[in-house]
Amino acid sequence: MEGAKAAAGPAAGGQLESALLHIMQQHHHQSLRQRQQTERAKKDALRSAARVAGHLVEAVDGGVQELFVNEKRIELEARALLGTIARYRKQSDQWLAASNAVNSVLKVCVRCCCPPFLLCSCLIVCRF
């Protein structure tokens, strides 16, 4: 019986060795596949993160660029408004000067002795 075990021993030991070798090879191949999958996933994650970062930069830069364009437009409109205000101020001053002149002439005309609604010596129609 011991002879049968001894004869079966070397054959069984060889099978055990080959089985262990096969298990180690499978484990090694699985580890390689898992490492490759991990590297692929890491590269995909980096590409996705870079793409998201790019989109965020575009979104922020687009908003900032739009703000600068709006700021320039507002500055141009403000300058135009300042020019318009200066022109209206000058016109208002001219109208005030003209109305003061007419008022002075009318005061002089009222003091004169011309009949109502006739041309007086100052060539303005008097109502008094």
Give 83-98 as a DSSP string: HHHHHHHHHHHHHHHH
Look at residue 44 and tell me if it is in a domain: yes
Residue 123 lies in a domain: no
pLDDT of 39-72, one tens digit each? 999 999 999 999 999 998 888 888 888 899 999 9
Our count of domains for the chain comes to 1
**Residue 125 is assigned to a structural domain of this protein:** no
Q: What distance in Å separates the CA atoms of residue 63 and residue 67, rounded to the nearest whole number? A: 6
Q: Rounded to an integer, what distance in angstroms lies between the CA atom of residue 38 and that of residue 40?
A: 5
How many angstroms separate the CA atoms of 70 and 68, rounded? Answer: 5
Report the alpha-carbon distance of residue 26 to residue 18 in Å, rounded: 12
What's the Cα-to-Cα distance from 24 to each of 21, 27, 31, rounded to whole Å? Answer: 5, 5, 10
Q: How many residues does the chain have?
A: 128
Is 90 part of a structural domain of the chain? yes
Provide the token pair at 12: 């069984």
Residue 113, pLDDT above cutoff 60? no
pTM surpassing 0.85?
no
Indicate whether 74 belongs to any domain. Answer: yes
Q: Is residue 96 part of a domain?
A: yes
How far is it, in rounded angstroms, from Cα 26 to Cα 32? 10
Residue 66 lies in domain: 21-113
**Between 105 and 25, residue with greater pLDDT:** 25
